[in-house]
Amino acid sequence: MDQTQPEDGKGHKRTRSAVKATRPRSSTKGPLDAADPLAPPPATSQPSTTIPPPSSSSTTTTTPAPTPPSPNPQFIPQPTPRMHPSHTPRATSPLPRSPALSPTPGTPRRPPPGSTAPFRPKDFSFLLRPEIFHPLTPLNIPPAFRNSTKQPPPETPLPELLEKGHFRAAAISAVQTLTGTGRTPQQPDPSDHVRIFDLLYTRWACLTLINSTDLAAQEVKALGDLNSAFYLSEDPTSGKTHHLVPWGLRVLNVRLQAIGFGDLRRAVMSYYELAREARVRLGEAMGEHDNSSRELWRERLEDLGVRVAGVLVEMGDVKGAGEHLRGLKVGDGGKMEMMRALLWLRLGDVDAARGCVMNGEGRGVTRGEKVVLALCDMADGEYEEAVAKWRELEEEEEGDEMVMVNLAVCLLYVGRMQEGRALLEGMVDAGRSSHTLLFNLTTMYELCTERARSLKVRLSEKVAAMEETNDGWEKTNADFKL
């Protein structure tokens, strides 16, 4: 014990080891050192992470060390503990990193408080890159449409393409305008978010209409997270925050991104995010007594509720979709009740579908209610009763394509297929060419004869010779089951 006592005593005199370090500091660099270790520290009010030894002289001088302090324990200076880099606060780093000095690309830099400098507009050039968009192959177009003289020239304006139903050409024209690769259109300015989002919505909506939803689902990933602060803007006059992306594109984005990422649960969560915003806007409109805005946001909120039910059906959660539909609070009658009734029919609950259109006095009297009731009879297998209802609706409004197609399907199920086929062919001769009409007619061709392919090709030539309409002139092979 007596021999080890001096060793313990030396442990308290740590200043002696500091006095011996009289040589200059070696030029080594650590993770927190600056470029020049011998350079004087920057003039800043924040302390440096490099703690000098307890000496009044500089670390670069070779002058003799000062006289050691008094051995009195209460005056012995304690060495300052070194800070490990992992425990060093951000504020004490020699290379401070501030979000204000390194903003996110595309994010406008805010002026200091009290400044009258305008905000820098946001940069959306990342949405104008040509590699985002996929080429559209014409191989899925029947030859009668590919070789038709009614194909629009490349310089046709985009509004005219949409008006005449050339959706594939409109999708191509929108991309040419976005990327600046077209002949006549000028590429929009990267800060013109209104023009850019309008073209993107046109592109992806047209892809959906021509059965190229999978391509739209891949391209829409370029938008990223629309809930991020980058897509928000603050009104300088009212101070309210609004979204730069239009509502229609935001709703379409939810559906497409869910398909692109292969996760339908993503759509449910995103619809609820939009519903939360719709409730806030609805409350603001009610507080301001803005009736038009209140009705707009109420309709959007109801529409989102039905869309959530539709996604649940696609996920196979029939029970959850049913409970969700029962909990929806929508107005009496109108479009939303029709949508709910159609969803109930898809779920297989015919009684619930009838309940959506039945009032307290019995069956509804509006045309929409009669359509739902006729569909309910078809779901129950009562095709004779359904035929009578469709005949009644045909007399009320002659030439209604939806009524005629459903009537032809009912005639098929009651054994009068030739009559149903003649009915559909009469609709085509009258200039109708919807996907439902063509698909059902080609199905009857397959059931009637073994020469179905030749009849399908002849039908495609007849449709290609029709006048352009805004419901889509150009068809795909899938429309004719080719």
Under the banding of pLDDT at 50, 70 and 90, the label for residue 193 is very high
**What is the average per-residue pLDDT within 468-477?**
75
What does the pLDDT average to over 345-370? 75
> In sequence order, what are the residues at sequence separation of 6 or more whose Cβ sits closer than 8 angstroms to the Cβ of residue 450?
none
**Cβ atoms 242, 231 nearer than 8 A:** no
For residue 194, the tally of other CB atoms under 10 A from its CB is 10
Query: What is the per-residue pLDDT for 66?
Result: 45
Average confidence score pLDDT of the chain: 77
- The residue-averaged pLDDT of 220-224 equals 93
- Which residues are bridge partners to 242 per DSSP? 233
Model confidence pLDDT, tens digit, residues 99-157:
433 444 444 444 444 444 455 788 899 999 999 999 998 888 888 888 888 888 888 89
Q: How many CB atoms lie within 10 A of CB 328?
A: 14
Q: 39-48, 76-85, 395-404, 447-456 — which is least confidently predicted?
A: 76-85
**Mean pLDDT over residues 64-70, rounded?**
44
Q: Do 353 and 345 contact (CB within 8 A), yes or no?
A: yes
For 275-313, what is each residue's pLDDT tens digit? 999 999 999 889 888 889 999 999 999 889 889 988 998
Secondary structure string (H, E, C) spanning the chain: CCCCHHHHHHCCCCHHHHHHCCCCCCCCCCCCCCCCCCCCCCCCCCCCCCCCCCCCCCCCCCCCCCCCCCCCHHHCCCCCCCCCHHHCCHHHCCCCCCCCCCCCCCCCCCCCCCCCCCCCCCCCHHHCCHHHCCCCCHHHCCHHHHCCCCCCCCCCCHHHHHHCCCHHHHHHHHHHHHHCCCCCCCCCCCCCHHHHHHHHHHHHHHHHHCCCHHHHHHHHHHHCCCCCHHHEEECCCCCCEEECCCHHHHHHHHHHHHHHCCCHHHHHHHHHHHHHHHHHHHHHHHHCCCHHHHHHHHHHHHHHHHHHHHHHHHCCCHHHHHHHHHHCCCCCCHHHHHHHHHHHHHHCCHHHHHHHHCECCECCCCHHHHHHHHHHHHHCCCHHHHHHHHHHHHHHCCCCHHHHHHHHHHHHHCCCHHHHHHHHHHHHHCCCCCHHHHHHHHHHHHHHCCCHHHHHHHHHHHHHCCCCCCCCCCCCHHHHCC
Residue 303, number of CB atoms within 10 A of its CB: 19
Residue 432 and residue 472: Cα distance in Å, rounded? 11
pLDDT at 171 over 50: yes
**Location of structure tokens 């009409």:** 437
What number of CA atoms fall less than 13 Å from residue 59's CA on the CB side? Answer: 15
Distant-in-sequence contacts of 446-449, Cβ < 8 A, 24+ apart = 446/481, 447/412, 447/417, 448/417, 448/418, 448/421
Has this prediction a pTM greater than 0.75? no
Q: What are phi and psi of 481, to 5 degrees?
A: 55, 40
For residues 355 and 29, give the distance between their C-alpha atoms in angstroms, rounded to a whole number.
78
When pLDDT is cut at 50, 70 and 90, the band that residue 333 belongs to is low
Tell me which residue of 303, 210, 302, 208 sits closest to 256, measured CA to CA: 208
The predicted pLDDT at position 133 comes to 94
Q: Assess whether pLDDT exceeds 90 at residue 87.
A: no
pLDDT at 74: 40
pLDDT in tens, 436-471: 999 999 999 999 888 889 999 999 999 988 876 666
* Burial label, 402 (beta-carbon count in 10 A; 0-12, 13-18, 19+): middle
Q: Which residues pair with 221 in a beta bridge?
A: none
Q: What is the pLDDT of residues 175-190, one digit of tens each?
A: 999 998 876 568 889 9
User: Mean pLDDT across the stretch 227-240?
Assistant: 83
CA–CA dist 379, 410 (Å, integer): 11
Query: What distance in Å separates the CA atoms of residue 29 and residue 298, rounded to the nearest whole number?
Result: 63
Token pair listed for 467: 């006048």
Specify which of 33-47, 138-152, 224-238, 240-254 reaches the highest per-range mean pLDDT.
240-254
Q: 448-451: which pairs have CB atoms within 8 A and are 24 or more residues apart?
A: 448/417, 448/418, 448/421
